[in-house]
Amino acid sequence: MNKSNLREIKKEATAHALAEAAFQLALERGMDGFVVEDIVQRAGYSRRTFANHFSCKEEAVATASVPYHDVDEFFEVLHRMPDTTSPIDAMYQFVKMQLAEESLRRMKQLFTMSKSYPNLKPYTLSAIHHLQGEVQQLLTELYRETHPQDYTYLLAGSVCSTLVPLLDGTFRVTLPGESPDEDPGAATFESYFESVFVRLRKGF
């Protein structure tokens, strides 16, 4: 591994540590109960380091809700799938792996907090946009020889946009780890996303 890759890994790990500290403080104290100084003290970094990664505490909190997983495992799964695997099927596998119980729980916590703290709202959508960007890049790299870039962009955008109504409460969906008794009659996350991909495969 070369030095540039090591620097990138270290940079990502630092941002993750700062974001995690911010997220935990938000859960413990609410958004009005802490400042950037509290974040850097808990994470063990300087204010300057924080400023190199985030513009404000709201951005740091939102970043912590984005799944922080290496995609190597996803590539291993994909390589075991047939060469004819479509972008939609690849996206399906990616969603299954990345949006696990912890990731969805954090994203829902972020959306819930944003209802009480309006300054956080713009960053909830930026978290979804960040996830969408990662998916778009991945699909483009995988299918640049067989599918136009606008196709993979539309696919990633379509799937990621379906997260918003289940996280903000517009759709009644029980996330993994939540008891069905909390909202009787609500759809499960699994059934919701199965229906999303059924529609995508049919082309609406």
Q: Would you state the pLDDT for residue 204?
A: 58
**Helices 189-202 + 149-161 axis angle, to 10:** 150
Find out whether 24 and 60 touch, Cβ atoms under 8 Å: no
Whether 3 shows a pLDDT value over 70: the answer reads no
Q: Which of 2-11, 108-117, 159-168, 172-181 has the lowest mean pLDDT?
A: 2-11
The tokens of 55 are what?
């513009």
Span 127-150, mean pLDDT? 86
Q: Would you state the pLDDT for residue 99?
A: 78
Q: Which distant-in-sequence residues (6+ apart) come within 8 Å of 71 by Cβ? A: 138
pLDDT digits (tens, 9 = 90+) for 85-106: 889 988 888 887 777 778 888 8
The CA-CA-CA angle for residues 172, 169, 24, to 5°, reads 125
pLDDT digits (tens, 9 = 90+) for 7-18: 777 888 899 999
- Report the Cα 83 to chain-centroid distance in Å: 27
Which range is most confident: 19-33, 130-144, 174-188?
19-33
Which is more confidently placed, 171 or 7?
Answer: 171
Pick the closest to residue 100 from 122, 82, 74, 75 (CA basis): 74
H helix or E strand, kind and range, residue 128:
helix 121-143
C-alpha distances in Å from residue 81, one per residue of 55, 99, 116, 140: 41, 20, 44, 18
Taking the C-alpha atoms of residue 24 and residue 10, their distance in angstroms, rounded to an integer, is 21
Which is more confidently placed, 164 or 99?
Answer: 164
The tokens of 30 are what?
């609410």
The rounded mean pLDDT for the chain is: 87
Q: Would you state the pLDDT for residue 125?
A: 87
Which is more confidently placed, 116 or 91?
Answer: 116
Q: Would you state the pLDDT for residue 4?
A: 59
